[in-house]
Chain A
C-alpha cells in the first residue's frame, strides 16, 4: 500500500508540481521581502530620512487632527516605531469616506513624501498576486494546501530522510539539483509547515468562511467585533457619565501613558477616537502588535475625562490560538535577529521552489541537448525565476526615477513592475532558455546596481549620506541591492563560462 501511495504521490509532486511551483516561488520571494516591508517603504520614501520616533507623537497627532478633522466621526492614529518612524493619521468624515496623512512624530507637521505604496506593494502581491478579483488568493490557498500535503507526504515517503539530510553532491547535473531541492526542503521544514498553515489562517474569511457564516448568520462584521473583543460585553468598569468636556490632546496623551502603565511597560500601537467632537468621545488604545506574538491585540477604552470604561486582554482558547497562528505568520513580534532568520528561511523556501522547477525541466531534457527544442516549461522557468526579481528591481528603480509630483504615481510604479515582467517573458519566449538566463541575469544585476544611484545625486541623500547620518535602514536596503546585483552578475558570469567550456 505504501508503494502505491509513494508512487502516486511522487507523480503528483513532480508532474503536477510545476504550476504550484511557479506560484509558490512568487509567493515565497515576495513574502520573504515582506518581512522587511517597513524598511523597503522607508527606502522608497527617501525624503523622510531623519524622521524619528518621539514620545510626544500622540500629542502632536491629536493637535493636527483637531485642526484638519475636527468634525470627523472617527480618528485613528498609528503611532511610530523604530521600523516605521512616522505617525499615520486617518479620519472618517461625517458622510463617510476616509482620509489619511503622514506626520513627523516630533512636530506633528505633515510629511511630504513621494506617493508610493512602498513595501506594501510586495506585501499585497505575495497573497493577492494582483490578479483580477480574488483569483490570486484562491490559487494561493489551494497551493498552500498542496504544499502541506507535499511536505507531509514527503516526510512519510522519503525513505532515507535522515541519511540524506546532509547530502549535497555538487557538479553532478541533475543529481545536484535534486540534492539542492531536498536540502532546501528539509532543512527549514518546521518553517514551511508553520508558514503555509498560518498563511491559510490569515485568509480564512475568504477561503473557509463557512464556520463564521453559519455561527453568525452571515454577519461578518459581528464576527470581526467579537474577534477583537468589542462584541462580547466588554468588562464595563464604570457607567457612562452625562457629558464630558471636548477631548483635548493632553487627555489623549495622558490616557496613552495610563494604558502603557496598566500594561506594565507595554507600548501603545494604535489610538482610536470615536466622536471626538462630541461630548461623548471615547479613546481606545490598542497595544502595539510587536509587543507579543499573538495578533489578538489587547486594548483599553477610556472616556473623554480619562476614566477606564472597558478592556480586552485576550479572547478564549480558540481566539487566542488563532491570534498566535496569525501572529506567527506576520512575525511582527520578531527582533532583528529572529526577523533575519525568518527572512533567510523564506529565501530558502524560494530556493526550494526554484530548484524544484529547474529539476523538473532538467529531468525531462532529451539526451541530445543541442538539437532539442526548448519547451514551454523551460521558457516559463526563466520568465518566472529570473523575471520576478527583475520586476522587483524595476519597481525599486522606477520609485527613484518617476517624478515626485507625477499624478497616479503609485499606478506608474506598479506598471513598471508588470511591464518589466512582461519584457522578461517576451525575452524568454524569443531567445533560447540558455541565452535568456544569461541576459536576464545580467539585466537583474544591472538594475540592482542602478537602483541606489539616482539618490546619490540628491544632496544629503543616497548611500554615503545615509551611512554618515546614521540612517542604517535605507543604507542597508541600498547595500542589499548592491550585493544582489553583484551576486547576479557573478552567477551569470559563472554560467556563461561553464557554457563556453561545455560547448568547446
Chain B
C-alpha cells in the first residue's frame, strides 16, 4: 500500500516540473496545476510515511526503500512513455 502511495506521490512531483511535462505529456500544464501537483505529491508522500509510522522502525526502513524505488519507477515510466506515445500516435 505504502509503495503505491509512494509511486503516486513521486509521479505528481515529477509531473509538476515543466521539463517532464514536455517530455511525457507533450505539453505544458498551467502554473496553477503544476503547483497543485507539487503540493499533492508532497502530501501523498507524507501520507505514505504516516501509514508506515505506526508499524515501527522496520516499516520506516521499508518506507525509505519504497520511496527510492518509487522514484526509480517514475524515472523509468517517464523515459518510456514518450516512445509509447509516439508508437501509439503512428498507429
Contact = CB atoms under 8 A, between A and B. Distances in A.
Interface of A: 163, 165-170, 183, 187-188, 190-191, 293, 333-335, 337-338, 341-342, 344-345, 348
Which DSSP category, helix, strand, loop or mixed, fits chain B's interface? helix
A190 to B, nearest CB: 5
Interface of B: 10, 13-14, 17, 19-20, 57-58, 61-62, 64-66, 68-69, 71-72, 74-76, 78-79
Contacts of B65: 191, 338, 341-342, 344-345
A167 B19 contact: yes
Given A163-B17, A167-B19, A168-B75, A191 B58 contact: no
Given A190-B64, A342-B65, A348 B17 contact: no
Nearest to A328: B61
Contact of B17 (A166, A191, A293): A166
A340 to B, nearest CB: 9
Given A187-B68, A344-B69, A333 B19 contact: no
Contacts of A334: 58, 61
B7 to A, nearest CB: 12
B69 A166 contact: no
Contacts of B57: 293
Contacts of B75: 166-168, 183, 187
A333 B17 contact: no
Nearest to B15: A166
Given A183-B72, A341-B66, 19 more contacts: A165-B71, A166-B14, A167-B19, A167-B75, A168-B75, A168-B76, A170-B79, A183-B75, A187-B68, A187-B71, A190-B68, A191-B65, A191-B68, A338-B58, A338-B61, A341-B68, A342-B65, A344-B65, A345-B65
7 contacts: A163-B17, A166-B75, A191-B68, A334-B61, A341-B62, A341-B68, A345-B68
Contacts of B66: 341
